[in-house]
Amino acid sequence: MSRLKDLKEFYRLLDQLEQKVGGKRQLANCHGRMDWPDRGIYFFFESGETRSNSGAGLRVVRIGTHALTAKSRTSLWNRLSQHRGVQKTGGGNHRGSIFRLIVGAAMKRRDQRHEPISWGVGSDPSAASRRLNIERNKILEAEKSLEQAVSKHIGRMPFLWLDISDLPDRDSLRGVIERNSIALLSNYSGDPLDPPSSIWLGSHSDRDRVRQSGLWNSNHIDDTHEPDFLVTLEQLIDRSTMQTEN
């Protein structure tokens, strides 16, 4: 099995997907009235993070999906909007998005910021308030500027999405594509391919799994991908319909 060969095939398929959906989008320019599928998977790229082994262009830095449990009713746009944050204020809720959480933590370490001490503490601001013995409104005020910085960073990251409208289940096709894509792209356990740039924000992450994998992901980075997933991915892309931006 050649990981590099599979990596090249993966990006060839994403090029096809980009043509199908009419190009990459940026979350800062997106809203819920666009033509989003109910369920799907997304692939985020990042400015300055380019491929060096598998070809030319930006490299994928995060893969994700949603609704992998039978009771989940989250839609694709619901999940993307949690990562985007609130357009009106520029803020967001890092406790509702692991993506926001780890990006914000990396910004704190990069900038050597002590505040906000509540980042990542508790399941909500009220829980953080009780744990730290700080008033809830002060928690929110202290977190505001970092939430806004996270929204700006994630909001300008180009991304692609693929319609996979299967039922919520951990063994769904969405789960299979997510798991294998992360395993293929991850540099955690093997020789680095398309490694991060020297200035990648993720290199400041407080998570060893992010730093070593080169991805804004923690799960599945030490898995081994199954090459056959690329056949499934191609079939899903072939079945997807051309979309236009609304």
Domain ranges of the chain: 1-246
Q: What is the Cα gyration radius of the chain? A: 18
Instruction: For residue range 9-46, list pLDDT tens digits in order.
Output: 999 999 999 999 999 999 999 999 999 999 999 999 99
Q: What are phi and psi of 165, to 5 degrees?
A: -90, 60
Class of residue 73 by CB neighbours under 10 A (exposed 0-12, middle 13-18, buried 19+):
exposed
Tokens 């994630």 identify what position? 154
The predicted structure's pLDDT at residue 1 = 54
Q: What are phi and psi of 21, to 5 degrees?
A: -90, 0
pTM as predicted: 0.94
Q: How far apart are alpha carbons 49 and 51 in whole angstroms?
A: 7
Q: How far apart are alpha carbons 46 and 205 in whole angstroms?
A: 16
The predicted structure's pLDDT at residue 244 = 45
Q: Which residues pair with 162 in a beta bridge?
A: 41
CA distances to 83, 85, 121, 139 from 142, rounded to whole Å, are 20, 17, 13, 5
Are 94 and 140 in contact, with CB atoms under 8 Å apart? no
Looking at residue 128, its amino acid is: A
Local confidence pLDDT in tens for the 246 residues of the chain: 599 999 999 999 999 999 999 999 999 999 999 999 999 999 999 999 999 999 999 999 999 999 787 677 789 999 999 999 998 899 999 999 999 999 999 999 999 999 999 999 999 999 999 999 999 999 999 999 999 999 999 999 999 999 998 877 777 899 999 999 999 999 998 889 999 999 999 999 999 999 999 999 999 999 999 999 999 999 999 988 655 444
The predicted structure's pLDDT at residue 240 = 81
